[in-house]
Amino acid sequence: MAQLTNFSFRKKKVQVFFNNLLSKSVKSDQIKNHKLTDASVSDLVESLIADSGDYYFNGLISLLEGIENAYRKRYSWATVKLYYSYYYFIRSELYALSVGVARDGRKLYSLEAKAQTSPELLKGGSDHISVLDLHYKKHNSDLINTQTINLSTPFNWLRDKREIVNYKINRFQEPAIPDFWEEFDNIRTANSFESTLQTYISKNSMYWYIENIAVIALPLKRLVLTKELLTNKKIVTKPTRAELKFIKKNFSKKIFQFLNSVYKSDQP
Query: Does residue 6 belong to any structural domain of this protein?
Result: no
Residue-range definition of the domain harbouring residue 124: 13-255
In degrees, rounded to 5, the angle at the alpha carbon of residue 11 between the alpha carbons of residues 87 and 29 is 90
> Side by side, which strands form the sheet with 120-121?
99-104, 107-112, 120-121
Query: Does residue 262 belong to any structural domain of this protein?
Result: no
Kindly report, residue by residue over 207-260, the tens digit of the pLDDT.
888 888 999 999 999 999 999 999 999 999 999 999 999 999 999 999 999 999
Query: Does residue 94 belong to any structural domain of this protein?
Result: yes
Query: Does residue 172 belong to any structural domain of this protein?
Result: yes
DSSP sequence for 116-138? T---EEPSS--HHHHHHHHHHHH
Quote the pLDDT of residue 141.
82
Quote the pLDDT of residue 202.
83
Kindly report, residue by residue over 112-169, the tens digit of the pLDDT.
999 999 999 998 778 999 999 999 898 888 889 888 898 898 999 999 999 999 888 8
Query: Does residue 198 belong to any structural domain of this protein?
Result: yes
Query: Does residue 31 belong to any structural domain of this protein?
Result: yes
Dist. CA 59–CA 252, nearest whole Å: 18
Query: Does residue 216 belong to any structural domain of this protein?
Result: yes
Query: Does residue 267 belong to any structural domain of this protein?
Result: no
Domain tally, the chain: 1
Q: Identify which of 54, 52, 42 has the alpha carbon closest to the alpha carbon of residue 17.
A: 42
